Structure 1
Amino acid sequence: MKLLISITMINNSRTLALLLTFLILAAIKLPAQVPIVKLSNEFNVPGDGFDKLLQLRNGNTCYLHFGQKSGLEVAMYNRQRELLNHDTLNPQRWNSTDLDNTEIDAIYQINGQPVVFLQQIVKDTPNLYRLVLDPNNGHILKEDKLGELPSIRLRTMYSNNNVASHDCYVEKDTRSDYYAVAFFNGTEIQYGDDPKKRITIQHYSPDHKLINTGYYYMQDSAYNYFSYINMAVQDKSHIYLATVGFNGKRKSGESSSKVVFSVLSPDSVTFSNHVIAYTGNYSQVSGLVKVVPAYKEVRLLIHVPDEKRSGNSGTILNIFTEDGKLRKHPILTNPELSKNVAINLNYKDDYSGIPQNWIINDDGSSTIMWETLSFFKQGNNQISNLHTNMGDAGVAELDTTGREDVTWSLNKYQVVTGVAQPFFQHRRSKSEWVFRNKIAALNLSPYVSYDFINKPDVTFMLFNDYLQYLDSGGADKTKKPLKFADDASFVCYRYLDKRIERLYIFGMPEVSKRYSCILGASDYNEGSHTYATILLTRKGTVKTAALAWIEF
């Protein structure tokens, strides 16, 4: 904005006051559209392991690093982005030196505290631990073992592309700090097993008190095995659970599997179950459950690979009453997003993406993040021969019925070792992570996909890409996938007033100077519109790291 004013034209104090007010308001509005960056002091680039940031309610930022050699390190930064404390924790129950047998099931801020849920295999038995940390210094306030599962050596049940879940799951209410822990015993039924206690769900209050324990099974024994889809917690009242029910052998005249939607009330220890009739023989189902209090509804978004075909995304929005009765189940299509990619990305065909995250608003409208995924095999190594191409991104705002409203798109091309499942962004945002079989040089998953930030007046999409594709004058026009973190450069696209602009928040990357961000470590504070991440800077052969707070 350019404003040319002659001071000689201002001939009274009232005019001057009005002018100053206008200039102040303009100055306040502009930074809301141009990201402002604050960096911490530099530190050594994190070693192998896992990293996560949490922007706490007291204004501090908690940085967790799980290292193969160092164990669990915690650094706490204050509101001024200064380092307050840095310690290596020494838990008494969870063995922090055995990360190869550890997986992170969730990291949440609960009651203003960083809370870490860890699953560790001890003598072939999965144990689930909870660490509650002090939000002021990162020290351990409370450490508990919440439960365990049967031995991993027992045979897991497979049938018609469905796998009985044998794992622990943790989900938190998005509107409160109540949360639930599910213990899924998916091994083959053993003699003497109690089928009514094979799957247990614990419901906790914000102060980490157990308020209810529920048992999940089919009262009519229609299905013996279940594949976990997702779970949602509604404050202290209800838990909603979506699964695929199936049997080891198909009964004559019956479908091999169906999706089951279940409700646990606060005055009950058993779930009420609702088998979704149209889902016969569904397999490899993934999805998310969301509560919509304004409509007294619960919604389940599922993705079914076998249902994906031309004009059909394979993604279905199921709308239930609070007591679990299905009202309707529209299939999501992407006509507006297909128009968007035709205009902005030169698509000749319709957009065909996989859902990666789904954010629902209090009024029932929502935002769904899509990404094109394709899979291939390369090499003979059984650990690293499976790969996933993570391609162009599409984002759509949906109205309360699931129809598209506003859409965005982004051209990108990344490849990761392993198979990236649908709802990758959701699992990454809650810090699900498995340390086993992680090859450091090939571990690109914390850097790939993208992050999406939407404000009322402006939208941002953040990702890492090759420098040569960010430079419009590059000679190589054949886009190749980003494969290694050291090659990445961070970029931000701003969508404002139907215009797309590329921003280099940390400076223009060059051949000898790169900036990349660990998206998997990031945390967005919607209240302050601040995105906290880990910035990796490479100048020549010198690599450094710093925390970055980006105010949008």
Structure 2
Amino acid sequence: MKYISSLLALILCYTLAVNGQNPTVALSNEFEQPGDGWDKLLQLKNGNTCYLHFSRTTGLEVRMYDRKRVQTSMDTVHSQLWNSSDLENTEIDAIYQINGQPVIFLQQLVKDIPEVFRLVLDENTGKLLKEDKLGELPSVRNRTMFAQNNEASHDCYVEKDQRSDYYAVALFSGTEIQPGENEQRRIFVYHFSPEHQLINTGYFYMQDATFSYFSYIHMAVDGERKVYMATTGFNGKRKSGNAQSKVVFSMLCRDSTAFAHNVIPYSFNYNQVSGLVKVVPAFKEIRLLLHVPSERGSSNSGTLMNIFTEDGKLRKHPVLSYPELSRNVEMNLNYKDNYNGIPQNWIMNNDGSSTLMLENLSYFKQGNNQIMNLHTNMGDAGVAELDTLGKEDATWSLGKYQVITGTCQPFFQHRRSKSEWSFRNKIAALNLSTYVSYDFVNFPDLTFVLFNDYLQYLDTGGGDKTKKPLKFADDANFVCYRYYNKKIERMYLFGQPEVSKRYACMLGASDYNERSRVYATVMLSRIGTNKKAAIAWIQF
């Protein structure tokens, strides 16, 4: 089997390399397909690849691969603080490469108390080097405040500065404020160095008590200097003269323990807001992309780009529109109406330009089970390259149709890229989160869109030409669309699928190294009744 796997890798590399515009593929030796849980790959700075698998039966399994794509170790993490046998009460808040090492941030319910842990692994062996408890939240049995269609966040959030590896951990208490409770100690933000040294602790509150409750939107870290955060502020009861809710943009400096706040004036009564915060050093600016469902309409995308100075003053807040993308889908996907996708990720470039990934999302109910009756149609993909003011420079579109159990929220791709994941109430056969949506890899003259599709032509005896959705992992086939010289080409990187031969990839496990242009993912093959897995390194 090792020989066959290596031979397949060589054949793929040779075949795909004939045309220099095509990607090449290298495969690891095969192993058994991972069971129910969560998977993540990290391409480390030393050239190794770390494969993490959270298993409901064995806990956290770690495989390490060297520069030659050869497995060098396999181990199970034995933690003294985090109970690896209790995945049902575990959430992954983030998995990052920090200081060249895999670092995992976990949350676990211990007697109804959410406790937050940090695990640091060795970059060569994958063994546990260090573990720490970073904090805890009040009991989840306490009632969380919900008012004016906003819910106070009661959770932990982790974000890292990709340029410097400084990071921040925010702990939000969203329970109802009790008489005599210190409101200035309900939300903490810990600012860490790449060596995991605590350099500052910030307390998030408003001195004038404009708002008492906050719903987390996003935060960004600017090296050792600052932490920026966006929230929706609201009150349990409407106060005289105050809006029911507004978006608050806040800043924590290293020499201060209190946040400075800027209440965004136009955001009157905003609720269920999502977004991303990005630092733009070239312009000494901070960008806040907001998606507001209540603002969406026939002529309004509901998505705004807020441009702040680095000291938190709002300069501009244009509403994004997609006329070029709408023309694109009209031409390529036969749309009659404008494209109105939901933001799924937003990548900021050093020069202030950016790439916005969008996806059509619609929701429906099916079945009688209260937990499993909500579903999401994840439809056509749209991508727009934006200039520094949010205007379209280039666009791409792709038709696809996937259905998942549950509701997919905006910025799903961003959360999945850092492995935000809860194991609670997940049914393996219905869990498609790691397979759906898409990935986007772009170069100056060449673009690739990667996703798992349901290939209808593989059905035997079916004459129905109506497009069918991808609903089950066993039906997934990994496809790569190449955009080159104004042409679109569908490619199968692991071989032509057949009725008895399919190849899928775990997009949720994937890791793209921009410097080496290598996309690492977990490939699952099904040939007849034989199911295997392998790590795939795709060189673009």
TM-based fold match above 0.5: yes
CA distance in 1, matches of 2:20, 2:255: 47
Q: Equivalent residues in 2 for 1:361-380 (5 A)?
A: 361-380=349-368
CA distance in 2, matches of 1:198, 1:31: 58
Secondary structure at the aligned position of 1:519 is classed as: strand
Secondary structure at the aligned position of 1:437 is classed as: coil
CA drift of 1:477 comes to 1.8
- Counterpart of 1:283 (choices 263, 267, 271) is 271
Structure 2 letter corresponding to 1:188: E
CA distance in 2, matches of 1:360, 1:271: 25
| Aligned equivalent of 1:93 | 81
CA distance in 1, matches of 2:133, 2:240: 43
1:483 aligns with 2:471: yes
| Aligned equivalent of 1:495 | 483
1:137 aligns with 2:125: yes
Q: Equivalent residues in 2 for 1:324-363 (5 A)?
A: 324-363=312-351
CA drift of 1:33 comes to 1.6
CA distance in 2, matches of 1:381, 1:29: 50
Secondary structure at the aligned position of 2:156 is classed as: strand
- Counterpart of 2:374 (choices 386, 393, 402) is 386
Structure 1 letter corresponding to 2:529: T
| Aligned equivalent of 1:40 | 28
Structure 2 letter corresponding to 1:530: V
Secondary structure at the aligned position of 1:340 is classed as: helix
1:524 aligns with 2:516: no
| Aligned equivalent of 2:174 | 186
| Aligned equivalent of 1:20 | none
Contact 1:467 1:510 in 2 (8 A): no
1:254 aligns with 2:242: yes
Secondary structure at the aligned position of 2:508 is classed as: helix
Structure 1 alignment gaps of length 5 or more: 1-26
Secondary structure at the aligned position of 1:336 is classed as: helix
1:230-260 Cα offsets, whole Å, 9 max, x none, are 0000000000000000000112443210000
CA drift of 1:262 comes to 0.3
Q: Taking every aligned residue pair, what percent have the same amino acid on both sides?
A: 72
Contact 2:113 2:138 in 1 (8 A): yes
Secondary structure at the aligned position of 2:266 is classed as: helix
CA drift of 1:457 comes to 2.1
TM-score, normalised with respect to structure 1:
0.94
- Counterpart of 2:436 (choices 437, 445, 448) is 448
| Aligned equivalent of 1:219 | 207
Identify the range of structure 1 (387-396 vs 244-253) with the bigger mean alpha-carbon deviation.
Answer: 244-253
Contact 1:42 1:546 in 2 (8 A): yes
Secondary structure at the aligned position of 2:338 is classed as: coil
Contact 1:303 1:316 in 2 (8 A): yes
Secondary structure at the aligned position of 1:269 is classed as: coil
Contact 2:210 2:242 in 1 (8 A): no
1:307 aligns with 2:295: yes
TM-score, normalised with respect to structure 2:
0.96
Contact 1:63 1:76 in 2 (8 A): yes
1:137-160 Cα offsets, whole Å, 9 max, x none, are 000110000000011011100011
CA drift of 1:192 comes to 2.9
CA drift of 1:190 comes to 1.6
CA drift of 1:540 comes to 1.0
Q: Equivalent residues in 2 for 1:111-260 (5 A)?
A: 111-260=99-248
CA distance in 1, matches of 2:41, 2:148: 40
Looking at CA atoms only, which structure, 1 or 2, has the larger radius of gyration?
Answer: 1
CA distance in 2, matches of 1:33, 1:412: 24
Structure 2 letter corresponding to 1:150: P
CA drift of 1:311 comes to 2.0
Contact 2:16 2:22 in 1 (8 A): no
CA drift of 1:28 comes to 13
CA distance in 2, matches of 1:309, 1:29: 46
Structure 2 letter corresponding to 1:212: N
What count of residue pairs does the alignment treat as equivalent?
525
CA drift of 1:470 comes to 8.5
CA distance in 2, matches of 1:103, 1:142: 19
CA drift of 1:382 comes to 1.3
CA distance in 1, matches of 2:296, 2:66: 48
Contact 1:73 1:86 in 2 (8 A): yes
Q: Equivalent residues in 2 for 1:455-470 (5 A)?
A: 455-468=443-456
Aligned pair in 2 of structure 1 residues 224, 384: CA closer, same or farther (>3 Å)? same
Structure 1 letter corresponding to 2:320: L
Q: CA RMSD in A?
A: 1.5
